[in-house]
Amino acid sequence: MAVADALVNERDPARALQDWGRRYWDNGGWGQRFALWLADNDPKPYGSWGNGAAMRVAPAALLATSLEEAVALSDHVTRVTHDHPEGLKGAAATAAAIWLARQDAAADDIRREISSRFGYDLAMTVDSIRPTYRHDESCQRSVPQALVCALEATGFEDAIRNAISIGGDSDTLAAIAGSIAEARFGMPEDVARAVWARLPQDMREVLKALYALHGQRSAGAA
């Protein structure tokens, strides 16, 4: 929500992240360094390579009109916290995969482009990942796995199930895989309705603005 707010309303990403993080502080679940960053009156990037960078980056890809812009917007919203090269790469690779999926690129083509551009090994399969995978919050050891879960999937729900099935940092893996799967397959109407019913009004307003601008930019690029 914070990343979408920053991009739709042209806000400083750091300020938007702090506003939303503090507004929903009682939700809990922040990583320790991110929680300290949220509470800091003068927040600075803290060299993180954590996969939270990739988990939150989808709005950058939804609003980009080119692959290069998707990567640039990803860097813009990521470097305020995750300025480590691996953090930036994980977010950019996710944004690039979403953008390519929006262009109806085939899964194998997305694999090749992401592997070539970012150096990730995407030759693995969900079945080969599952037996030995363990919880890992780094981009370098979770983003490739999440990408495979999305690119091997046959539908939106299948991508989420793939991500959960391999274990590890499941909520983050599913957020990354789900953002790519939405671009590949769309979101099932029953899932969208169920989620919408649970969202507070401030989040609904941001999402309405995000998808409205997404539609405008997609039509303009067509």
* CB 79, CB 85: distance < 8 Å: no
pLDDT reported for residue 220? 73
pLDDT reported for residue 218? 84
Contacts (Cβ under 8 Å, ≥6 apart) of 84:
47, 48, 49
What domains, with CATH codes, occur in the chain?
A: 2-221 (1.10.4080.10)
pLDDT reported for residue 222? 59
> pLDDT truncated to tens, each residue of the chain (222 aa)?
999 999 999 999 999 999 999 999 998 778 899 999 999 999 999 999 999 999 999 999 999 999 999 999 999 999 999 999 999 999 999 999 999 999 999 999 999 999 999 999 999 999 999 999 999 999 999 999 999 999 999 999 999 999 999 999 999 999 999 999 999 999 999 999 999 999 999 999 999 999 999 999 888 765
| Proportion of the chain above pLDDT 70, given as a percent | 99
SS (H, E, C) the chain: CHHHHHHHCCCCHHHHHHHHHHHCHHHCCCCHHHHHHHHCCCCCCCCCCECHHHHCCHHHHHHCCCHHHHHHHHHHHHCCCCCCHHHHHHHHHHHHHHHHHHCCCCHHHHHHHHHHHHCCCCCCCHHHHCCCCCCCCECCCCHHHHHHHHHCCCCHHHHHHHHHHCCCCHHHHHHHHHHHHHHHHCCCHHHHHHHHHHCCHHHHHHHHHHHHHHHHHHHHHC
Rounded to whole angstroms, the Cα distance separating 54 from 81 reads: 12
